Amino acid sequence: MAATMRGARGEPPSILTPAITPFGREMRQAHFNFAPSYTPLNHGSFGAFPSCVRDYQRKLQRETEAKPDTFIRFTYPRLLLEAREAVAPLLGADTDEVVFVPNALTAVNTVLRNLTYRDGDVILYFSTIYDACRKTIESLEETTRVCGYCIDLVYPIEDDEILEKFRGAILEIQRQGGLVKLAMFDTILTFPGVGFPWEPLVSVCKEYGIYSCIDGAHGIGHIDLHHLAQVGPDFFISNCYKWLMVPRGCAVLYVPYRNQALIRTTYPTAEGYLPSTQREALSQRTYFVNLFEKVSTIDTTPYVCVIEALRFRNHVCGGEERVRDYCQNMAGEGGDLMAAMMGTEVLGNRKGTLRKCAFINVRLPLQVTEKHDEEKQLGKIPAKEAKAVADWITITTVEEFDTFLATRYYAGAFWVRLSCQIYLERADFEWAANVLLDLCSRVKQGMLRTK
């Protein structure tokens, strides 16, 4: 595949020496563009991409400015097809089952707003849903007949309990006279950053005739998804700019052939849309692909950069499996180290499924109390101030330590979520633990005064 893909003028997008660069600091210095003082421990939010991908994108942008009509009308559609051909195998999908959109939230809205709803229809989701997705469902409640139904989860929890709650919610909705139209759930949660049992949830959806829509924002490039099409969700969405090392503004939307007729328009509706009487002349897959080829005028070079990102991951990193293994193993090692240094724990469950990802969630050595007198005597944090304390820790890591350590007060304790990536190593997690120990000490000594 990599040997046949060509750039905008027919030359290879870049020339990479087919030699594997060691992960950790050497990878960071050789291929990434972080400021020397910056410690990137929050890859999961906005991602990062290597120099070769940056250079390839700039080349495409120069090409666009040199000959706008030539590139946008003729060169770009060819490169877009190559990018879809490159990304589809990562999902075990056919090329014409995948399209690109700017971000996962655009794809979520595209799916949910294309469905039609009747009285009694329900969208089922979990309390751990990404907040903007929850608000999308709330928006649909205002404009359609659908209602949302939330399943409350508190971590740590076992996968079997999640499945039990899911089945119980379906039966309760049916008992109330409703019908679950669609269920939305994640591959990897945003916070806490843990693995989610998406495969068995898809099976339950099939059992009850429910559309399954997977928000895999932290999926592609993070966990193995080669079996996705075989598992058979009805819709799957994943950001490429997070873990696949593509510039920001790129997500993949997977819609199997059986469901493509449900996607009648993009959001916003664009020139590819045809009224139902006109689109009957096209096959469903042709219409689906054409819909997403050009949706308004934006910088679509991130879509095409999937080609170069995969080339980097294969030639320089040694392949997808090697990247995944390093990130998950280093996350485990780094999380255990931090917990040992702080005398706390890493969020996990008995079967170890929560930690099968490149996120780690480490509890901070801070205690919370509901009793004012106890707070004075033992140096505990009043529960009413817990959120402000968590926010202060996060902001202070930015202002004083040139990093970003996402800290939250969750389920009665303070937790920090960190991401592992190929440019990090054990020493980075040791450094993070020392930063957090310093900040927790300052909190205990009363150096923080919340408003």
Q: Which of 52, 108, 44 is nearest to 243 (CA)?
A: 44
What is the maximum span of the chain, computed from C-alpha positions, in angstroms? 77
pLDDT band, residue 449 (cuts 50/70/90): very low
The DSSP annotation for 328-358 comes to: HHHHHHHHHHHHHHHT--B---TTS-TTSSS
The DSSP annotation for 119-167 comes to: TTEEEEEETTS-HHHHHHHHHHHHHSS-EEEEE---SS--HHHHHHHHH
Average pLDDT taken over every residue of the chain? 93
Q: Which of 126, 206, 209 is nearest to 165 (CA)?
A: 126
Distances (CA, A) of 366 to 221, 257, 347, 393: 34, 51, 15, 12
**Mean pLDDT computed over 175-199:** 97
Q: Which of 49, 11, 20 is nearest to 250 (CA)?
A: 49
Question: Contact, 401 vs 437, CB < 8 A?
Answer: no
Question: Contact, 192 vs 415, CB < 8 A?
Answer: yes
Is residue 368's pLDDT more than 80? yes
In angstroms, rounded to a whole number, what is the distance separating the alpha carbons of residues 425 and 393? 23
* Position with higher pLDDT, 11 vs 46: 46
In angstroms, rounded to a whole number, what is the distance separating the alpha carbons of residues 87 and 360? 27
Position 286 scores a pLDDT of 94
pLDDT digits (tens, 9 = 90+) for 296-310: 889 999 999 999 999
**Mean pLDDT computed over 231-251:** 97
Is residue 450's pLDDT more than 60? no
Is residue 16's pLDDT more than 80? no
Position 7 scores a pLDDT of 42
pLDDT band, residue 290 (cuts 50/70/90): very high
**Mean pLDDT computed over 179-203:** 98
Q: Which of 225, 153, 163 is nearest to 189 (CA)?
A: 153
Cross-strand bridge partners of residue 148: 123
Q: Which of 60, 89, 38 is nearest to 310 (CA)?
A: 89
Position 20 scores a pLDDT of 85
Ramachandran area for residue 412 (φ above 0: left; ψ -120 to 50: alpha; else beta): left
In angstroms, rounded to a whole number, what is the distance separating the alpha carbons of residues 422 and 120? 47
Cross-strand bridge partners of residue 212: 183
pLDDT band, residue 373 (cuts 50/70/90): low
**pTM of the full predicted structure?**
0.92
Residue owning tokens 């070079």: 301
Position 19 scores a pLDDT of 64
Burial 406-444 (b: 16+ CB within 10 A, else e): bbbbbeebbbbbbbbbbbbbeebbeebbebbbebbeebb
**Mean pLDDT computed over 96-115:** 97
**Mean pLDDT computed over 381-390:** 94
From first CA to last CA, the distance across the chain in angstroms is 58
Residue owning tokens 């799916």: 111
> Strands, DSSP E only, in 216-277?
235-239, 251-254
**Mean pLDDT computed over 77-84:** 97
Question: Contact, 285 vs 257, CB < 8 A?
Answer: yes
Lookup: tokens for 198: 């998406």
